[in-house]
């Protein structure tokens, strides 16, 4: 087994680590008959943080968000820095209700995280409040063949993320795929 590819800033697996680990988690969950929720998280107004306080403050925000996300992930879940200010998680869940609960818990944890970062213009530390938009795709892979691929789930989570961002900042949107079908997007 190869060592995971890590993002140097957050020390989370990077996008290529995701491509190695996500299909494995999908197969393992399918074999157990479990369900998954794929979360795509985008930090709200991240460019504004960089433009207001500087890129070092932005780096602190990324590290702190990664740290707070680690606290809500359970053993067996997969969390990666997908790129820029985007994080992706693949979490094992029991059903659609737990998928919504996990999504809300992640959003609340990000919102409640106190972040202190250096300001580039002044020799001070500033408190920065962070929220995130989250798109989630919940699905149940099947053991005989994984009808819903990671790529399909990622595409649906990305579409849900766009719905959440369009609704407002600090929003979550969940789409249910396959056997967890609820029909369309649900802004939660």
Q: What is the pLDDT of residues 35-65, one digit of tens each?
A: 999 999 999 999 999 999 999 999 999 999 9
Q: How many residues does the chain have?
A: 188
Question: What range defines the domain where residue 142 resides?
Answer: 15-187
Pairing of strands 78-83, 125-128: unpaired
Q: Looking at residue 15, what is its pLDDT?
A: 92
Which residue, among 49, 63, 54, has the nearest Cα to 12 in the 3D structure?
63
Q: Looking at residue 170, what is its pLDDT?
A: 80
Task: Report if residue 88 sits inside a domain.
Answer: yes
Task: Report if residue 3 sits inside a domain.
Answer: no
What CATH number does the domain containing 66 carry?
3.30.70.270
Task: Report if residue 122 sits inside a domain.
Answer: yes
Q: Looking at residue 143, what is its pLDDT?
A: 66
Task: Report if residue 53 sits inside a domain.
Answer: yes
Mean pLDDT by 10 residues, the chain (188 residues): 80 93 92 92 96 96 97 96 97 93 95 94 93 93 68 92 86 78 44
d(CA 126, CA 112): 16
Q: Looking at residue 187, what is its pLDDT?
A: 43
Task: Report if residue 9 sits inside a domain.
Answer: no
Task: Report if residue 162 sits inside a domain.
Answer: yes
Q: Looking at residue 4, what is its pLDDT?
A: 66
Q: Looking at residue 5, what is its pLDDT?
A: 85
Q: Looking at residue 176, what is its pLDDT?
A: 83
Q: Looking at residue 147, what is its pLDDT?
A: 56
Task: Report if residue 46 sits inside a domain.
Answer: yes
Q: Looking at residue 150, what is its pLDDT?
A: 86
Output the CA angle 52-55-58, nearest 5 degrees. Answer: 80
Domain count, the chain: 1
Q: Looking at residue 168, what is its pLDDT?
A: 78
Task: Report if residue 2 sits inside a domain.
Answer: no
């Amino acid at each position: 087994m190869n060592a995971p590819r890590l993002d140097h800033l957050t020390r989370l697996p990077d996008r290529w680590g995701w491509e190695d680990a996500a299909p494995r988690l999908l197969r393992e969950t399918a074999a157990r008959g479990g369900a998954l929720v794929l979360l795509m998280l985008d930090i709200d107004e991240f460019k504004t943080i960089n433009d207001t306080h500087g890129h070092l403050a932005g780096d602190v925000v990324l590290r702190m968000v990664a740290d707070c996300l680690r606290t809500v992930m359970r053993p067996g879940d997969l969390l990666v820095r997908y790129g820029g200010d985007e994080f992706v998680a693949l979490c094992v869940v029991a059903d659609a209700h737990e998928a919504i609960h996990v999504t809300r818990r992640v959003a609340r944890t990000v919102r409640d995280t106190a972040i202190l970062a250096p300001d580039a213009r002044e020799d001070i530390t500033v408190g920065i409040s962070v929220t995130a938009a989250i798109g989630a795709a919940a699905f149940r892979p099947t053991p005989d063949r994984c009808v819903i691929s990671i790529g399909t789930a990622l595409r649906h989570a990305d579409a849900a993320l766009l719905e959440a961002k369009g609704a407002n900042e600090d929003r979550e949107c969940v789409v249910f795929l396959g056997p967890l079908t609820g029909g369309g997007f649900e802004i939660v």
